Structure 1
Amino acid sequence: MPNIIREEIETGIIRLGMNRKPVNAMTPEFLKELAMAYKEVESDENAKALIIGSDLAVLSAGVDLKEAVCFSKDEQIALLKGLHEFLIVAYGLKMPVICECAGAAIAGGFFFVLTADYTVAIKGANFALAEAKVGVNFPTAPLEIARHALTPAALRYMMLSGEFVGTEKALAWGIIDEEVEGDRDTVKAAAVKAAKRYAKLPSKTYGMIKTDIRGECVESIIRDAAANKDGTADGWFNDETVDAMNAMIAATQKA
């Protein structure tokens, strides 16, 4: 099975279903595939809205810690480069993006939510920015998008605690837009319904307004990267990272 399954729900509504088992873990190759898939949808003149979702139990668990704990510096840099390039595409996409969240969205996986225009989540879904717990700092792209997309209260709590946030608090903080009870099909149906609403909006005007909202953030990410202002550009790990990742892996195995 491919890592990303493209489905035309109906004319103008395209769904990208992530299917990189078991948890849509991020790798440089997967991030490149995602960036290309987003670009292909945006370049499709018939496409009016994009739904990003998952065909697995979670939306995405971010980086696979069992792999990441052994990363060389070159592998760290490659991953961050892939994340940077994908997030520029995802946050700068001019067409409506609906996130269909039928499971947890953790660390890098949370940015499918933050880069969307509207998120439908199943009741009981959890969201986390776990970087503080696994001993890594935030690269420029996710840092700036988090600053731009989250309220100050959500930003402070999620980035500094690394704790999970449930759908009740996510709604209150504006992280998600809609909570639905049921199963994966219920969430998908709600996401399609939202996509249909957004697809009816004048597309050129929508793109201009979205650029007005997000363009400065995207440009600052590109500018800082070009000026080598990203503190993780020469490697993501510090002297606490491996121990913190191993502790997180051990805790997950006990749970």
Structure 2
Amino acid sequence: MTTPLTKNPMPSWIESPYPHVQHSLITFPAKHILLVTINRPEARNCLPVEGTIELGALWKWYDAEPELRCAVFTGAGDKAFCAGMDLKQRLDIIETGEIAHDYPPGQFAGMSNRTGKKPIIVACNGHAHGGGFEAILNADVIFASPNATFALPEVLRGVSALAGALPRVFHLFGNHRAMDLILTGRRLGVQEAKDWGLVKEIVPQEKLLDTAIEYAKLIARLSPDSVIISRLAAREAWETGVSRATMRGQELWAENMLRSENAREGLAAYREKREPRWKRSHL
């Protein structure tokens, strides 16, 4: 059954309260799982500057909370995951002459340029345009509903996608597909997005969130140390190139991982033919 769109009480297994969030709903559908839902369906879940600042603080808290291992990110309703920034607010900001704003280091939704250490799975429940697409491009795994579309329409609005999307679409899709998207602002349909390797699976809307949560549970059942370090090594290649990434990941993390309680536990469980009992990560 799909998790209801209501705020759950803080579970007893969470050690520290999450930061104040006004524009999204925070729930905990299972042990070790965080569910974040952008909750502005009347505005196609577009985010004002304040909503992005909130999410930046929330993802930072998620990485630091030792009992959380995987997050799912979605939008309220069945029309849009996130239509990007609040363009009405952006126009107001420009007209005041104060174009700069204090976005978090992760940029739009605290995510479009997020590095972080823990995975975020997206349940894309509709349109992901502008900043919404920029955030999705930096997710770890994406499930999408049949009505999902993806677009960088900034050229249609006299602006540009500068929150992380441009280098990512190039690395993901290659030069010519990237240019097709960013120079025209056209919508990428969900089947095309799957064919291009962006979407893992197209899931009926009524099953989308449950599917993403069950997938997050699979990750949460694994060694949190192994998940963090494997993700780090892969993302270092994504950000910097294969050879440099391999060296840096080994230098920073490999020895600590092999000396960890979870490495011993995983190997002992294999030898003893039992399920491992993972400890919290101290990385």
Confirm or deny a common fold (TM above 0.5). Answer: yes
1:14 and 1:49 in contact (8 A); partners too: yes
Displacement of 1:214: 2.5
Give the Cα separation in 1 of the matches to 2:174 and 2:222. 26
Whether 1:124 and 2:147 are equivalent positions in the alignment is yes
Give the Cα separation in 1 of the matches to 2:49 and 2:122. 22
Whether 1:62 and 2:84 are equivalent positions in the alignment is yes
Q: 1:206 to 1:142 in 2, by over 3 A?
A: same
Matches within 5 A, 1:132-151: 132-139=155-162, 141-151=164-174
Displacement of 1:71: 3.2
Tell me the alpha carbon deviations over residues 70-107 of structure 1, each in whole angstroms, 9 at most, x when there is no partner.
432754321xx516543596331221211011110001
Aligned to 2:193: 170
Match of 1:175, SS state, is coil
Whether 1:48 and 2:60 are equivalent positions in the alignment is no
2:52 and 2:108 in contact (8 A); partners too: no
Aligned to 2:215: 194
Aligned to 1:16: 36
Displacement of 1:63: 1.9
Q: 1:210 to 1:141 in 2, by over 3 A?
A: same
Aligned to 2:272: none
Q: 1:218 to 1:71 in 2, by over 3 A?
A: farther
1:54 and 1:101 in contact (8 A); partners too: yes
Displacement of 1:217: 6.3
Of 98-107 and 56-65, more deviation after overlay is shown by: 56-65
Amino acid at match of 1:120: F
Gaps of 5+ in 1: 221-255
Matches within 5 A, 1:1-255: 2-20=22-40, 21-56=42-77, 57-72=79-94, 74-78=97-101, 81-82=102-103, 85-86=106-107, 90=111, 91-139=114-162, 141-181=164-204, 183=205, 185-215=206-236
Tell me the alpha carbon deviations over residues 111-154 of structure 1, each in whole angstroms, 9 at most, x when there is no partner.
23212111110012111011122121332633334334444444
Displacement of 1:54: 1.0
Amino acid at match of 1:16: V
TM-score, normalised to structure 2, is: 0.68
2:125 and 2:208 in contact (8 A); partners too: yes
Q: 1:37 to 1:219 in 2, by over 3 A?
A: farther
Match of 1:59, SS state, is strand
Amino acid at match of 2:117: K
Say what the alpha-carbon RMSD is for the aligned residues: 2.6
Match of 1:8, SS state, is strand
TM-score, normalised to structure 1, is: 0.75
1:151 and 1:173 in contact (8 A); partners too: no
2:71 and 2:119 in contact (8 A); partners too: yes
2:26 and 2:35 in contact (8 A); partners too: yes
Tell me the alpha carbon deviations over residues 150-180 of structure 1, each in whole angstroms, 9 at most, x when there is no partner.
4444422211221001111000011111101
Match of 1:143, SS state, is helix
Q: 1:129 to 1:217 in 2, by over 3 A?
A: same
1:53 and 1:59 in contact (8 A); partners too: yes
Amino acid at match of 2:72: I
1:84 and 1:141 in contact (8 A); partners too: no
Q: 1:102 to 1:146 in 2, by over 3 A?
A: same
